């Protein structure tokens, strides 16, 4: 029948379209397990070799989530890979020699920048960061003066390693009076806006003997082995995209006051009534007002900080 042939043809066209979609399709498709998730990245510049050095921490999913089942064992939840290259991109390209899956940066939460690189200028890495489609803008940036490889390796016995330590560090709400919390978005924004220069938290390590027996056990059979702890303290200050220096913890506190960035933290102040001794105050809110004025021809700033808190 004419009618049925007509529908047959329609059906055929439909079938062709569907099969076309199926055969040629899936260009951007990637299965989850085909990816190697980079949780943290450490980048530095080696002035002697004039090369970039990149260390990535690639997560081993089975060891992270399987931890409760005891599947983790002695295997660390991360795999650290270090490569070198003339640019950041070529260094990253080198990593593929060691990884069977595609390096996936969309969930990279932490980037540690070495001091050498920061002093040389951040534009070389920022350019790559901003262009990279995968990278997320909420990545935490840290500056360290130590060897970035050592920093990456530290802390494996306390949290689930340095990257997790840093991720948790920026997520927590209280006690952040020791270093500013800056992610890529804020950094780039401050870099771009005129009149504001960016800052970053400073990351360092401390080597010490394990204190508690638990940690000793974790550290290994040899209880005399030293444990490396990460430590976030102080502020790295930039002019433009170049690192110019660091603020210590006291200066950082002052800086954070001005930035109105202090919350859920305790500070110690003199007793306003003049009694001997100090008062410890838990800060709830703070407000700062900056007025620029001229003092004997030179520009100066007047900063007024109002803090609301409760005694503790």
Nearer to another protein, 66 or 85 (CB): 66
Nearer to another protein, 60 or 120 (CB): 60
For the bound state, the minimum distance from the C-beta of residue 37 to another protein, rounded and expressed in Å, comes to 8
For the bound state, the minimum distance from the C-beta of residue 262 to another protein, rounded and expressed in Å, comes to 19
For the bound state, the minimum distance from the C-beta of residue 41 to another protein, rounded and expressed in Å, comes to 15
Residue keyed to tokens 């940066």: 105
The H or E element spanning position 214 is helix 213-219
Nearer to another protein, 51 or 136 (CB): 136
Q: What's the Rg (C-alpha) of the chain? A: 26
Give the separation between CA 143 and CA 24, rounded to whole angstroms. 46
Nearer to another protein, 22 or 298 (CB): 22
For the bound state, the minimum distance from the C-beta of residue 266 to another protein, rounded and expressed in Å, comes to 27
For the bound state, the minimum distance from the C-beta of residue 100 to another protein, rounded and expressed in Å, comes to 14
Residues that bind another protein (CB under 8 A): 6, 18, 21-22, 24-33, 35, 37, 59, 61-62, 64-66, 104, 106-107, 109, 133-134, 136-138, 185, 188-189, 192-194
Give bridge partners of residue 55 from the DSSP assignment.
Answer: 42, 82
> CB–CB of 198/243 below 8 Å?
no
Contact residues for 61 (Cβ-Cβ < 8 A; gap 6+): 37
For the bound state, the minimum distance from the C-beta of residue 165 to another protein, rounded and expressed in Å, comes to 15
Give bridge partners of residue 112 from the DSSP assignment.
Answer: 42, 142
Nearer to another protein, 34 or 289 (CB): 34
Give the separation between CA 205 and CA 162, rounded to whole angstroms. 10
The H or E element spanning position 217 is helix 213-219
Residue keyed to tokens 């638990």: 214
The H or E element spanning position 157 is none
- Tokens representing 242 are 């170049």
- Tokens representing 91 are 């260094």
Residue keyed to tokens 């500013």: 180
**DSSP assignments along 3-23, one per residue:** HHHHHHHHHHHHHHHHHHHHH
Nearer to another protein, 181 or 281 (CB): 181
Nearer to another protein, 1 or 298 (CB): 1
For the bound state, the minimum distance from the C-beta of residue 122 to another protein, rounded and expressed in Å, comes to 16
């Amino acid at each position: 029948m004419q009618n049925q042939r007509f529908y047959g043809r329609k059906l055929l066209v439909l079938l062709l379209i569907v099969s076309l979609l199926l055969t040629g399709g899936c260009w951007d498709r990637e299965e989850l397990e085909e990816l190697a998730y980079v949780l943290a990245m450490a980048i530095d510049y080696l002035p002697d070799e004039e090369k970039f050095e990149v260390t990535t921490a690639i997560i081993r999913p089975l060891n992270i989530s399987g931890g409760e089942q005891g599947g983790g064992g002695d295997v660390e939840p991360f795999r650290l890979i270090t490569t070198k290259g003339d640019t950041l991109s070529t260094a990253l390209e080198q990593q593929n020699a060691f990884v069977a899956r595609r390096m996936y940066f969309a969930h990279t939460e932490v980037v540690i920048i070495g001091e050498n690189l920061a002093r040389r200028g951040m534009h070389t890495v920022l350019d790559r960061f901003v262009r990279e489609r995968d990278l997320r803008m909420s990545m935490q940036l840290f500056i360290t003066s130590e060897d970035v490889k050592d920093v990456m390796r530290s802390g494996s016995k306390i949290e689930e390693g340095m990257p997790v330590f840093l991720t948790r560090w920026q997520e927590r709400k209280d006690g952040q009076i020791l270093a500013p919390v800056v992610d890529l978005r804020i950094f780039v924004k401050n870099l771009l806006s005129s009149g504001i220069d960016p800052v970053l938290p400073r990351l360092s390590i401390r080597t010490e003997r394990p204190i508690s027996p638990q940690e000793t056990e974790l550290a290994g059979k040899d209880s005399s082995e030293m444990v490396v702890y990460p430590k976030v303290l102080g502020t790295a200050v930039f002019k433009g995209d170049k690192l110019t220096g660091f603020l210590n913890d006291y200066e950082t506190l002052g800086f954070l006051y001005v930035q109105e960035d202090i919350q859920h933290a305790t500070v110690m102040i003199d007793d306003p009534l003049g009694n001997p001794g100090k008062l410890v105050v838990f800060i709830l809110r703070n407000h700062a007002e900056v007025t620029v004025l001229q003092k004997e021809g030179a520009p100066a700033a007047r900063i007024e900080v109002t803090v609301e808190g409760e005694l503790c």
